[in-house]
Amino acid sequence: VLLRVSSDAVNLKPDLEAVVTAEPDDGAGVPAGSELRLFARAAIDTTGAGLETARSDLAGCLGGDGLVDAAAVVGFFNAFDRVADATGTVLDTVTHQLTNQMVPGVDLTRAIKAHGT
């Protein structure tokens, strides 16, 4: 939802479904999206596979400051997800409705019901 809303604010049309379903090298229509997604996936993989290349590619694309900004966001969300999962935080009704409207192909209700099984 926040990707869609923030993209609207700058007249960008990201492929929301690609964020959920496509391979990480699909940039989903966001500038430097491929480098960002590959970096995010590599950074949370504790084996370190592909991280050095992804880091180098992102730094080449967005510079050192962009790399650090991206790493901070990845670090925070890797933790934020754990807070949501460990406390069983319920998805907000408004967010749930908007997500289903924006990406109808992704059955979030089904996914939530499957959570923890």
The pair of three-digit structure tokens given for residue 99, joined into one six-digit string: 């997500």
Q: Is 102 in the site for another protein (CB under 8 A)?
A: no
Site for another protein (CB under 8 A): which residue of 92, 97, 101, 104?
92
Q: Is 105 in the site for another protein (CB under 8 A)?
A: no
77: Cβ contacts below 8 Å, ≥ 6 apart: none
Element (H, E) at 65: helix 51-87
**Binders in 1-20 for another protein, by CB under 8 A:** 2-3, 5-7, 9-10, 12, 14, 19-20
Site for another protein (CB under 8 A): which residue of 17, 41, 50, 102?
41
Q: Mutual orientation of helices 33-43 and 51-87 as an angle, nearest 10°?
A: 70
Phi, psi of 73 (to 5 degrees): -65, -45
Min. distance of Cβ 31 from another protein in angstroms? 7
In terms of CB distance, is 60 or 85 closer to another protein?
85
CB 27 within 8 A of CB 14: no
Task: Give the CB-side neighbour count of residue 87, counting CA atoms within 13 A.
Answer: 9
Contact positions toward another protein, by CB under 8 A? 2-3, 5-7, 9-10, 12, 14, 19-20, 24, 28, 30-33, 36-37, 39-41, 43-44, 46, 48, 51-52, 55, 62-63, 65-92, 94-95, 108, 111-112, 115-116
